[in-house]
Amino acid sequence: MSDSFGKEIFKLGFGMMRLPKNADGSIDVPQTAQMVDEFLAAGGTYIDTAFVYPGSEEAVRQALVERHPRESYTLATKLNAWMGEPDEEAAKQQFYTSLERTGAGYFDYYLLHALMRSNYDKYENYHLWDFVKELKEKGLIKHYGFSFHADSEFLEQILTEHPDVEFVQLQLNYADWENPGTESQKIWEIARRLGKPIIVMEPLKGGALADPIPAVREILTEADPEAPIVSWGIRFAAGLEGVHSVLSGMSSLEQMRQNLSYMKDFKPLDEEEQKVIRKVQDALNADLSIPCTACHYCTDGCPMNIPIPEIIAVANRQRNNEDFRQKREYLIATTGRGKASDCIRCGQCEDACPQHLKIIEYLAQCAEEFEVQ
């Protein structure tokens, strides 16, 4: 196994943001360990976590680092300069905390996390680009890059200002390929033109493409009744030129085994399968669902403790199922937390949203639709 870019490796990456949970909400480490074992046994190497994923780095230590030789895998984690509003010292300390939590000794890939127009100045003002270069010179990381949630013009700006960046992590999936909010195709084209290896995140759009709207499910099932629905999204992303790894945020051993079943001997989508994807894209373009990926970046700083992704999920289920008991499910989602009508329009959620959704507007609509007047 090599950690060098440009060499053929196992395309599936293990994203450790949505790990299996115990009844008390803690991470199920034994199940995670079994997932890690089967992933590595199948040939997988790329494992991804982040400082801001609750409990994830500790789970990496217990399920991976303490149980497998360090040279048998490559590990990525991330530094976030905007969630929790750290200062420069606290931002840089995240690296050393991540190193301690994981016990990994070094990181193969280190990323500045979720760069957007609204937070870019923090990474600049905290001198974090110089910081990652220093970490590489000390041998504490092997490669540095960034994950990105903005428009194509801004991606080109960052890569022009920081041409030494070694890789980029981009949201690429067939649903967002021509979406003006995420510009998946355009940002992929820029990364290719500038010669940057790509790590793909959200190939299933936060799970939305794992359980798609009925019209999409019907198209995919008719095309290949035996293929798992999720395989279409992951194979689409993995087949793109320049893609080093496709992250799947697996949350059960069953999901791991399903992904390995078609990625162990990976084959890109053929011409006929690409035609199926184009039909699916047409169906998605006609869909009115709110494109939330349930990343929860919006909720961490919400002063009213509003469960925004859960409320949006209720709204989406209502839009796609006229019989759905939306008011009951809305009450369940908001019990003990803020309601949509509690929104004070501070804009924190919209600044943090990687999908650039009009959350304030959506909450107002949900309050009018779901709350008893």
The phi and psi torsions of 66 (rounded to 5 degrees) equal: -80, -5
Question: Within this chain, do residues 280 and 360 fall inside the same structural domain, yes or no?
Answer: no
| Residues counted in the chain | 373
User: What single string gives the DSSP state of each residue in 78-138?
Assistant: EE-SSTT---HHHHHHHHHHHHHHH--SSEEEEEEEEE-TTTHHHHHHTTHHHHHHHHHHT
Question: Within this chain, do residues 193 and 224 fall inside the same structural domain, yes or no?
Answer: yes
Can you give the residue range of the structural domain that contains 353? 308-370
Question: Within this chain, do residues 179 and 82 fall inside the same structural domain, yes or no?
Answer: yes
Helix %, strand %, coil % of the chain (to 5): 45, 15, 40
- pLDDT on residue 291: 80
Interval 76-118: pLDDT, tens: 999 999 988 789 999 999 999 999 999 999 999 999 999 999 8
Question: Within this chain, do residues 259 and 313 fall inside the same structural domain, yes or no?
Answer: no
| 295, part of any domain | no
Mean pLDDT, the chain, integer:
91
pTM (2 decimals)? Answer: 0.82
Calpha distance 337→333 (Å, rounded): 8
Provide the CATH number for the domain around residue 212. 3.20.20.100
Give the pLDDT mean for 54-81: 97
SS3 of residue 235 by DSSP: helix
Residues forming beta bridges with residue 12, ordered by sequence position: 246
SS3 of residue 313 by DSSP: helix
Count of structural domains, the chain: 2
Query: Which of these three, 247, 270, 285, is where a domain ends?
Result: 285
SS3 of residue 56 by DSSP: helix
Interval 221-249: pLDDT, tens: 999 999 999 999 999 999 999 999 999 99
Interval 125-184: pLDDT, tens: 999 999 999 999 999 999 999 999 989 999 999 999 999 999 999 999 999 898 777 789
Cβ neighbours of 137 (radius 10 Å): 9
- pLDDT on residue 370: 86
